[in-house]
Amino acid sequence: MAARGAGESSAETLAPEPESAGDSFVAAGSPVNVLWMTSGLGCDGDSIAMTAATNPSLEDLLRGCFPGMPPVIIYNPVFAYETGDEFMRAWFDAAAGKLDPFILVLEGSVPNEEINGDGHWAAFGIDPSSGEPITTNTWIDRLAPKAAAVLAVGTCAAYGGIPAMRNNPTGAMGLRDYLGWDWTSRRALPIVNLAGCPVQPDNITETLLCMVLHLAGIGPAVALDEQGRPERIFGRTAHESCNRAGLAEHGQFSETHGDGRCLVKLGCKGPVVKCNVPTRGWINGVGGCPNVGGICMACTMPGFPDRYMPFVEPDLSARLYTTAARFSYGPVLRYLRELRIRTTYDVEPAWRRRSDRLETGYSEPGSRAA
Ligand code: SF4
Ligand code: SF4
């Protein structure tokens, strides 16, 4: 917030490497610091999104919602009430090995400062010796080797995102593209790619919590898929958990916005996009792109946005899908299911009618024995 005053850690040297993944990386009573850089090429949308988290909330995280978890201090310029040198102190301390352990978070993509001409693409803070701005890339070079864990938050930081789309002038890239896909932290942890544009709020706080618990030795490392995303969050497609998937199964597709059917013919990319937002909703379980009528634009995917443009038109796989669903499986299934509903599930039992005989199947107690 510096959710507490900057530079409160008094560690003089980096903590020793743990013996194994189960060991704590955090001294008893010490906080886990989160140094959150928003100076990548981005919009600060992930920082803003995190303020809407409810499960756990940002306040839960800062107050220590989980028994045994260490205190957490987040240094983020969007939230900080410290300014100038007071805010920058933690960053210089971390670069000097005096703030430890810390999780380095990058928000926004990494520009290519090799091609910056006479200026620079992104920076924050001033170098006291030269009086020049310190580039984002310099901060990454200084801090990444000292970080216990690294989180690339948002699709820009993870894969480059919108600033890295075709014809951009900055040579922007994701953090793994910059540091190397095999790069690992002092804790031997790979960079966590938490994708989304922005990231779903609870996905941010939950992932941070898991990383903190792991560093404290009371939780496993975040398991990642081959694109570096948390498996638990990105293990299913948006389509698999969309509340319109049942309509898609029946070949029911919207031709215009607002009629509540599957949106794939309007450009929804849900069938090929890994994202848990339709399951988790957006704020406190409410909302979630296709659930509420917005097409999935594939914002969690490494190829976003170029691979999925134009957003509002179905691509080849969507056309094949809707054609197949319309002429084969979907309509046949719908016909048979509606037949069963009409003849079996949507009718009263036969004995509920006027009759001079009891037809419920009732028999007098003991009558069978007799
Ligand atoms: S709206 Fe999108 S995510 Fe939902 S069922 Fe249709 S294609 Fe799948
Ligand atoms: S459902 Fe699609 S557009 Fe919405 S957050 Fe997930 S990937 Fe992004």
Quick one: pLDDT at residue 16? 43
CATH superfamily of 238-327: Cytochrome-c3 hydrogenase, C-terminal domain (4.10.480.10)
Quick one: pLDDT at residue 4? 40
Reading the block at residue 293, the tokens are 């009528």
Q: List ligand 1's pocket residues with C-beta within 6 A.
A: 238-239, 242, 244-245, 248, 262-264, 268, 270-271, 290, 296
All structural domains of the chain with their residue ranges: 32-231, 238-327
Burial class (CB in 10 A: 0-12, 13-18, 19+), 111: buried
Quick one: pLDDT at residue 303? 92
Q: Which of the four pLDDT bands, split at 50, 70 and 90, describes residue 289? A: very high
| CA–CA separation, 30 and 10 (whole Å) | 10
Burial class (CB in 10 A: 0-12, 13-18, 19+), 228: buried
Residue nearest to ligand 1 atom 6, measured at CA: 262
pLDDT digits 0-9 by tens, 307-328:
888 888 777 767 777 766 666 6
Quick one: pLDDT at residue 324? 66
Residue-wise over 27-50: b if at least 16 C-beta within 10 A, else e? eeebbbbbbbbbbbbbbbbbbebb
Q: Where are the alpha helices (DSSP H) in the chain?
A: 45-50, 58-63, 84-95, 136-143, 155-159, 175-179, 201-215, 231-234, 238-241, 245-249, 277-280, 316-327, 329-340
Tallying the residues shown for the chain, one arrives at 370
Report whether pLDDT(273) > 80.
yes
Quick one: pLDDT at residue 316? 72
| CA–CA separation, 334 and 313 (whole Å) | 26
pLDDT digits 0-9 by tens, 324-360:
666 666 667 667 766 776 777 677 778 877 788 888 8
| CA–CA separation, 237 and 253 (whole Å) | 18
Report whether pLDDT(6) > 80.
no
Q: List ligand 2's pocket residues with C-beta within 6 A.
A: 196, 238, 273, 275, 277, 289, 296-300
Residue 120's contacts (CB-CB under 8 Å, 6 or more residues apart) are: 113, 133, 135
* Mean confidence (pLDDT) of the chain: 88
Q: Which atom of ligand 2 is nearest to the CA of 295?
A: 3
Domains 32-231 and 238-327 share a fold: no
Mean pLDDT, residues 252-281 taken together: 92
346 or 266: which carries more pLDDT confidence? 266
CATH 3.40.1000.10 is the classification of domain 32-231: no
Q: How far is CA 275 from CA 166, 169, 240, in A?
A: 24, 29, 10
Report whether pLDDT(21) > 70.
no
Q: Which atom of ligand 1 is nearest to the CA of 245?
A: 5
Q: Where are the alpha helices (DSSP H) in 164-256?
A: 175-179, 201-215, 231-234, 238-241, 245-249
For 243-261, give the secondary structure using H, E and C. Answer: CCHHHHHCCCECCCCCCCC
pLDDT digits 0-9 by tens, 179-222:
999 999 999 999 999 999 999 999 999 999 999 999 999 999 99
Q: Which of the four pLDDT bands, split at 50, 70 and 90, describes residue 10? A: very low
pLDDT digits 0-9 by tens, 37-79:
999 999 999 999 999 999 999 999 999 888 889 999 999 999 9
What pairing do the DSSP bridges indicate for beta strands 133-135 and 123-126? antiparallel
pLDDT digits 0-9 by tens, 121-166:
999 999 999 999 999 999 999 999 999 999 999 999 999 999 999 9
Ligand 1 pocket test: which of 244, 253, 312 has the largest number of ligand atoms within 8 Å of its C-beta? 244
pLDDT digits 0-9 by tens, 85-106:
999 999 999 999 999 999 999 9
Residue nearest to ligand 2 atom 8, measured at CA: 299
Query: pTM for this structure?
Result: 0.85
Reading the block at residue 106, the tokens are 């990058």
Burial class (CB in 10 A: 0-12, 13-18, 19+), 10: exposed
